[in-house]
Amino acid sequence: MPLTPSFRRLWCCAALLAAASLGTACGASEGTANQGQPTPSPEPPGSRFPAPTNPFAAAEPAAAGANPAAPRTDMAAPTPNADPTAYNPLTTFEAWVIQQKGTERAGTGEYTDHEAEGTYVCRQCNAALYRSADKFHSGCGWPAFDDELPGAITRHHDRSHGMERTEIVCANCQGHLGHVFTGERMTAKNTRHCVNSVSMRFVPQGQPLPKPIVLRPKGS
């Protein structure tokens, strides 16, 4: 049986009313179901993307409980070189006498007539050389000693300037000191160490002696 236009309009209105009633019921049931549930907080910016990772983290695992942002303290500090690399600095004149075997003019040295009690050490390396108790006035124009501290001095045969002499050097650094003479009978020991003042430093009695500078031989 064909539908008349009036019946069609009535049927459409009924369908619309039914759809509206169904939507209201669904909205009410959803609202009732969400009652008492916490409102979700908005996501922080960037939460949908993973944080950047350190590509080297696997090679250096962090210790348990360590703060990855803190600087590392487990790395060994460089070991300072405990060995000295040079002797005491010298002036041009000091280097000429000590290293080039020069000689200061007679009567000009600061220790020629020095009489205080103490110890004379090498100016270049601080090694102890002579005691004031072994010093005497020779009248030659340079400091004179009739003995040395044990092991402090090394002797070399010297034929320079057309003379036959015995050179004395510091046993530790080989710095030139002067020459030694025997047979002059100036003291009971019959020995005279004729030493350049500039090759020595004086340490008064009661003061600590400086630590000798001992260099390793090259290649060791």
What pLDDT is recorded for position 133? 98
**47-99: per-residue pLDDT in tens?**
444 444 443 334 344 444 444 444 444 434 443 444 677 999 999 999 999 99
Q: Is residue 210 part of a domain?
A: no
Contact of 133 with 116, CB cutoff 8 Å: no
The encoded tokens of residue 149 equal 């501290």
CATH of the domain at 154: 2.170.150.20
Beta carbons within 10 angstroms of residue 131's beta carbon: 16
Q: Is residue 183 part of a domain?
A: yes
List C-alpha distances in Å: 196 to 29, 143, 144, 185. 114, 7, 9, 21
**What's at 210, amino acid-wise?**
P
pLDDT at residue 6 tops 80: no
Q: Is residue 139 part of a domain?
A: yes
- In this structure, what is the dihedral angle of CA atoms 195, 200, 204, 208, given to the nearest 10 degrees? -130
Contact of 155 with 167, CB cutoff 8 Å: yes
Q: Average pLDDT of 97-122? A: 97
| 57 or 217, which is more confident | 217
**117-141: per-residue pLDDT in tens?**
999 999 999 999 999 999 999 999 9
| 105 or 12, which is more confident | 105
Range of the domain at 177: 109-204
| 90 or 28, which is more confident | 90
Whole-number percent of the chain with pLDDT over 90: 59
Q: Is residue 36 part of a domain?
A: no
List C-alpha distances in Å: 92 to 97, 102, 108, 199. 9, 11, 17, 13
For residue 216, what pLDDT band results from cuts at 50, 70 and 90? confident
What pLDDT is recorded for position 220? 56
What pLDDT is recorded for position 69? 45
Q: Is residue 127 part of a domain?
A: yes
For residue 218, what pLDDT band results from cuts at 50, 70 and 90? low
Q: Is residue 198 part of a domain?
A: yes
What pLDDT is recorded for position 9? 57
Average pLDDT, the chain: 77
Q: Average pLDDT of 150-176? A: 96
**Number of domains within the chain:** 1
Contact of 123 with 94, CB cutoff 8 Å: yes
Q: Following DSSP, what letter does each residue of 115-127 receive, concatenated?
A: --SEEEEETTT--
12 catalytically annotated: no
For residue 44, what pLDDT band results from cuts at 50, 70 and 90? very low
Q: Is residue 32 part of a domain?
A: no
What pLDDT is recorded for position 217? 74
Residue 203: closest CA among 89, 123, 109, 99:
123
Q: Is residue 168 part of a domain?
A: yes
